[in-house]
Amino acid sequence: MNRQQYAYDFPHPALATDCAVFGFDGQCIKILLVKRGIEPFKGLWALPGGFLRMNETTEECIRRELHEETSLSPEVIEHFGVFSALDRDPRERVVSLAYYSLVKQSEVVGGDDASDARWFALGALPTLAFDHKEILDKALQTLREKIHFEPIGFDLMDRQFTIPDLQRLYESILGVIFDRRNFMKKILMSGVISECKDVEVAPSPTRHAGRNPKFYTFNKEAYDQMKGNGKFKMEF
Amino acid sequence: MNRQQYAYDFPHPALATDCAVFGFDGQCIKILLVKRGIEPFKGLWALPGGFLRMNETTEECIRRELHEETSLSPEVIEHFGVFSALDRDPRERVVSLAYYSLVKQSEVVGGDDASDARWFALGALPTLAFDHKEILDKALQTLREKIHFEPIGFDLMDRQFTIPDLQRLYESILGVIFDRRNFMKKILMSGVISECKDVEVAPSPTRHAGRNPKFYTFNKEAYDQMKGNGKFKMEF
DNA sequence: GCAAAAGTGTTCTTCGTACACCCATGA
DNA sequence: TCATGGGTGTACGAAGAACACTTTTGC
């Protein structure tokens, strides 16, 4: 294979994408990391991602890399920042476009048991390669800011979910405790969720006692309409 | 000069930055554009910006380009998006990092009279080069979303400002009309502005009649403290 | 039967909103 | 003197916050 076969009039940095993938297991928020198989930082854990190809946009790039490295094809992938410190990659100048992704439990197909991709709780993160800790911190900050005002919590829940589960999600992300009655009232009054008539969900393996909760589903049409009107309000 | 002197193992896109610069003249919000002196799109208006150099971060890049092209060194420059369509630049594959900037009237040093940089009202935009109309639209959308919950309006006002001016700014950005008394109450109750004892501002040239308004200043320390507490609230 | 979790309503307070008059200034 | 714009307070309604008991289920 030819080396140095791509030449330009002026210097070009390499352009990469990295993605902080968030998931929720019913109790707390988790991050998906992959173990690096090559140098640099071989053996360390890193955010999934890779270099941009010339025939794809940056969002296509991160979706391709995510699928290659973790078998995921999440609905929600959003750009949130640029990391361009001069020495962030020891090989050459690499600018990284940072994305976050929100995946539902039902989108996780398994396959990450014996592989080199694993979910980590926020409190038990390993040492990360490159500046990925910094990227992850900013992703978390972005997630916390957005979830105050936008209904992105639903993107982390399965299509059918219970309100107590949703409350645990919010509490896990924001690090606070809400009153059950007020939380339920606020969610129901927002008008964007509706009760499921036919529940198609297996009982959660994490449930142990207590009354069977009702299941709800997110009503995207209602949300889009209210958002268009400027009538949507859900603040935490 | 040597051509094609920079070579790599795998193809690299060019990386550029572009910035939507917002200003407020006391009546309505304006955008700073520069006239292109070279092909492609020679003679058309464009957002200020340019290619990343290898010895600077992307934020340093957009600050340098902005200073070179418009003589501005604004306090506030924020990244808000990536534009990476394959054919967005006819010369070669160029990925653009999009920034917006908020400049105070007092930061504008003049110098843009006979030059190729001009302020345009939102309703009187010329045809823009590249995909810069798309970038500007997304910048505006980002500005409108942020100003709902964050005190970025102050970044467009001089250090000392009047509440009616601030109200005009909000109304101009959001395209709505507020009740004067309620607007003033909300701003004052937020606790982040305080009345100026010694006013050092020349009377506005746009004023024509009416009582002399009071001047206020943004109290950044109070804001930072309230933001840390999670106690800050100012929603429009 | 007991512990753990989920469903449900009311009161009080706070905040948003609607609304009208007087005063200072420039033309 | 008149037109324009800025300052000020109140009353009503909606939304948020605090708060306890009952029901269902697994062990």
Residue that is last in its domain, among B113, B146, B179 = B146
**Between these two residues, A233 and B93, which has the higher pLDDT value?**
B93
Residue B48 near residue B127 (C-beta atoms within 8 A):
no
Please report residues contacting nucleic strand C, using a CB cutoff of 7 A: A 162-165, 180-182, 184-185, 207-214; B 179-182, 185-186, 189, 203, 207-212, 233, 235
Name the percent of chain A lying above pLDDT 90: 86
Residue A15 near residue B15 (C-beta atoms within 8 A):
yes
- Helices and strands per DSSP (H, E), number in chain A: 5, 11
For residues B162 and B138, membership in a common domain is answered with no
pLDDT at A17 > cutoff 80: yes
Cβ-based interface (< 8 Å): residues of A facing B: 3-15, 51-59, 79, 81-82, 84-86, 92-93, 95, 97, 148-149
Closest nucleotide to B181: CA versus each C1': D8
For residues B163 and B59, membership in a common domain is answered with no
Which domain range does residue A49 map to?
Answer: 14-146
Residue B23 within any structural domain of the chain: yes
Residue A8 near residue B6 (C-beta atoms within 8 A):
yes
Q: Is A8's CB within 8 Å of B7's CB?
A: yes
The SS3 call for residue A164 is: helix
pLDDT at A112 > cutoff 80: no
For residues A22 and A118, membership in a common domain is answered with yes
Q: Is B82's CB within 8 Å of A10's CB?
A: no
User: How far apart are the C-alpha atoms of A63 and A57, rounded to whole Å?
Assistant: 10
Q: What is the pLDDT of residue B147?
A: 96
Q: What is the pLDDT of residue B200?
A: 77
Q: Which residue has the tokens 């550029």?
A: B16
User: How far apart are the C-alpha atoms of A116 and A43, rounded to whole Å?
Assistant: 10
A200 — pLDDT class (breaks 50, 70, 90): confident
pLDDT tens, residue order, chain B (236 aa): 557 789 999 999 999 999 999 999 999 999 999 999 999 999 999 999 999 999 999 999 999 999 999 999 999 999 999 999 999 999 999 999 999 999 999 998 765 455 789 999 999 999 999 999 999 999 999 999 999 999 999 999 999 999 999 999 999 999 999 999 999 999 999 999 999 988 877 777 777 889 999 999 999 999 999 999 888 999 99
For residues A187 and A109, membership in a common domain is answered with no
Q: What is the pLDDT of residue B109?
A: 73
Residue B22 within any structural domain of the chain: yes
User: How far apart are the C-alpha atoms of B82 and A58, rounded to whole Å?
Assistant: 8
Mean pLDDT in residue range A23-33: 95
Q: Is A103 exposed, middle or buried (0-12, 13-18, 19+ CB in 10 A)?
A: buried
Residue A82 near residue B41 (C-beta atoms within 8 A):
no
Residue A4 within any structural domain of the chain: no
Task: Return the CA Rg of chain A.
Answer: 20
Residue A3 within any structural domain of the chain: no
Contacts of residue B82, defined as CB under 8 A and 6 or more positions apart, other chains included, come to: A58, A79, A82, A97, B95, B96, B97, B98
Residue A236 within any structural domain of the chain: no
The SS3 call for residue A82 is: strand
Residue A6 within any structural domain of the chain: no
CA distance A204 to chain B (A): 34
A114 — pLDDT class (breaks 50, 70, 90): low
Give the other-Cβ count within 10 Å of A156's Cβ: 25
pLDDT digits (tens, 9 = 90+) for A150-189: 999 999 999 999 999 999 999 999 999 999 999 999 999 9
CATH of the domain at B26: 3.90.79.10
Total CB pairs under 8 A between chain A and B: 94
Residue A9 within any structural domain of the chain: no
DSSP lists the bridge partners of residue A24 as A29
pLDDT at A228 > cutoff 60: yes
